[in-house]
């Protein structure tokens, strides 16, 4: 069975998604490939590569973690912040009350952490 590099597989997946193929179908194919080639443990890395390729082509996915659910104003604000030069920005939101307040945004290999938890942690370790 033919085996491709992770980058090649990610490129094929990204191309198919951008071509408008249904995302569920593309992800199912990727999952089949990973199972066949016993690469399931590296699924996160494949997805990260796909996201990176999509971001290069103007389709940015941002992971946003906050202590409280975001409203539309904040979503728009975050999209403006991470979507400079991007065609579309998708947010993958997660609520974590341990953050107390603030937000953590990860996109394009960068991270913005304004959470109170991190600030307090920095205060604790600054001594």
Partner 1 sequence: MTHVAVQFAEAASGLASLGLDWRMFLFQLFNFVVVLWLLKKFVYKRLVDTLESRRKIVLESLDNAKEAAAELEKTNEKTVELLDQARSQAADIVALAHKEAAAMVEDAEAKAKKRADHMIEQAESRLQQDIQKARIELRRETLALVATATETVLRQKVDTAADKKLIASALKEAE
Per CB under 8 A, residues contacting partner 1 are 66-71, 73-74, 77-78, 80-81, 100-103, 112, 114, 116-117, 120-121, 123-124, 126-127
CB of 60 to partner 1, least distance (A): 16
Residue among 20 and 127 whose Cβ is closer to partner 1: 127
Per DSSP, the three-state class of 58 is coil
CB of 107 to partner 1, least distance (A): 12
Residue among 41 and 84 whose Cβ is closer to partner 1: 84
65 near 104, Cβ under 8 Å?
Answer: yes
Residue among 27 and 67 whose Cβ is closer to partner 1: 67
Q: How far apart are CA 94 and CA 61, in angstroms?
A: 13
Residue of 19, 17, 18 whose CA lies nearest to 30? 17
Q: How far is CA 36 from CA 2, 13, 43, in A?
A: 11, 16, 13
């Amino acid at each position: 069975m033919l085996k491709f590099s992770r980058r090649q597989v990610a490129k094929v997946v990204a191309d198919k998604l951008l071509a408008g193929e249904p995302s569920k179908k593309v992800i199912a194919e990727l999952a089949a490939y990973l199972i066949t080639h016993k690469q399931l443990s590296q699924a996160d890395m494949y997805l990260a590569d796909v996201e990176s390729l999509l971001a290069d082509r103007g389709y940015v996915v941002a992971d946003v973690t906050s202590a409280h659910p975001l409203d539309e104003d904040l979503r728009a604000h975050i999209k403006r912040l991470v979507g400079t030069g991007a065609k579309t920005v998708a947010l993958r939101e997660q609520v974590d009350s341990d953050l107390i307040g603030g937000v953590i945004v990860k996109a394009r290999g960068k991270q913005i952490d304004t959470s109170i938890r991190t600030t307090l942690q920095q205060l604790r370790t600054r001594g």
